[in-house]
Structure 1
Amino acid sequence: MAAGQFSNNGPKPLQRNLSRRVSFNEATLAKSQEPPKPPSEPELIDTETQVSRRPRCRACCNSCCAWTSLILAVVLLLAILVGGVYFAFLQSNLPEVRLHRLDVYYLGVNNTDTDTFVTTDFEVRLNFTNNNSKIKLSYSQMSVSLSSEGVDLGTVKIPAISQEPSSSADVKARTWMRKTTAEEAVADDLRDNSLRHLMVIDIVLKGHIDFLVNGNKMNGFPFKVSCRSIDQSEIDNGHAPGCAIQMTPIW
């Protein structure tokens, strides 16, 4: 019995040791199989607190900028409106311009072996009518250019003139060109048309105009008169074709 008891009691300590080892190994395995802990979350920033700490004058600045932009836009709009009304007033009080006379004193063609030359002597008469009964007009020195079928017929300067309200004034301009080059066919057409009084001429006049209203002078406004495709036969028959006149930009 002692031997049996010894044999029965002998394995018990061994079983305890094995159970402890198994228990230790399971704990170790369970610990190794645990998922890694997530990294610590960053510290949250209280944006509301920071916003509340910002200077409250920033909202006032934004409101001030908005009102300033609105005021500037209104002022700019008013300036454009006033400028448009002012420009329309000046444009409506420009004189009426008509071509009254066209004289061809000379038009000669000289053909050489290499070139064709045209020599011309023209005179035109423009009539300026001031239809306004209260505004006096004053014209600075003006330049008048003539051309026909693309051929330059000369440019001349004419002296300054003034014009009383409700009055008319004639402006004469005599231009000449000496041996200006042109294509032979064009030069021959010019000569033939001038002999038959069938020329078609273009006239451009440029200058500055001053407006005098109740003693107040508004000066230095550039203008341009354009008489395009004027038929010589129409003028010879007593007609006075009208010319376009307009204010031109200063720049």
Structure 2
Amino acid sequence: MFEASRSKISRAKKHADEFLQDVREFCGTDFLDFSIDFDENTQNSTLKFKMKQHPPVELSMILGDAIHNLRAALDLAFVEFIEAVGITPTKWSTFRIWESRDKMVSTYSASLFKGFDDVTELFSDHIRNFEGGNGHLASLDALDIDDKHRLLIPTFSVVHLMNVTAELVMEGGGRIGFNNCALGVEQGGVLNLVGSPGRGVLTVKNRGTPQIAVLFGESTSLAQQAIPETLTVFAKAVEEVIAQLERFLTDRSKD
């Protein structure tokens, strides 16, 4: 059972792999620009960087496809499940994220699952597809809704720059040289441990390799959460729902 749902999950995982591959390819391009920032107040020069090109829009498309396939897997599993227990689905039969447990129980008991108290209990007490219940399912649903209204644009945050080689020559004659250094990144793109009093000229011999955190954008319901790890968590959450449905049907057949 649930082969269609599993196919959707498999497709979502392929999208997640494709997303990571495209991220790696983007990170291999010359997308960072270094500069010297001189603070008139402190009279200090600091080495900074910024992204000089945006991530490709295809990343948003792939991310949206991964989210949608996982969400669709839940709907497909829900319809197949209710058919298996003897309930006729309607066009409204979807894997809904309810506003609350009480709303779920009262609605299911009075309509779709009327006379199927064990099915209502399965969803209310075990799968818990309501706000305040299974947070991963609720977040997946929210992102799927977000993607219907705007692109899920990933945010790239550079955490470290590895193997940077450069020299900062100050007007007063001082020099700061660093060879194959690992530099942490502070707020605003400031590279820590790289700064000096006065003005200077920067020569970058090796821009290094950035270590990137790829996050959901601020306009989404999961702002600043890591995308690759979140997709993995979502896939496991959907797989667990299907496993719960299967266990229920297996146990029911034994009665």
Normalising to structure 1: TM-score of the pair?
0.29
Q: Greater helix share, 1 or 2?
A: 2
Structure with greater Cα Rg:
1
Q: Report the TM-score, using the length of structure 2 for normalisation.
A: 0.29
Larger relative contact order (Cα-Cα within 8 Å, sequence gap ≥ 6): 2
**More strand as a share of residues:** 1
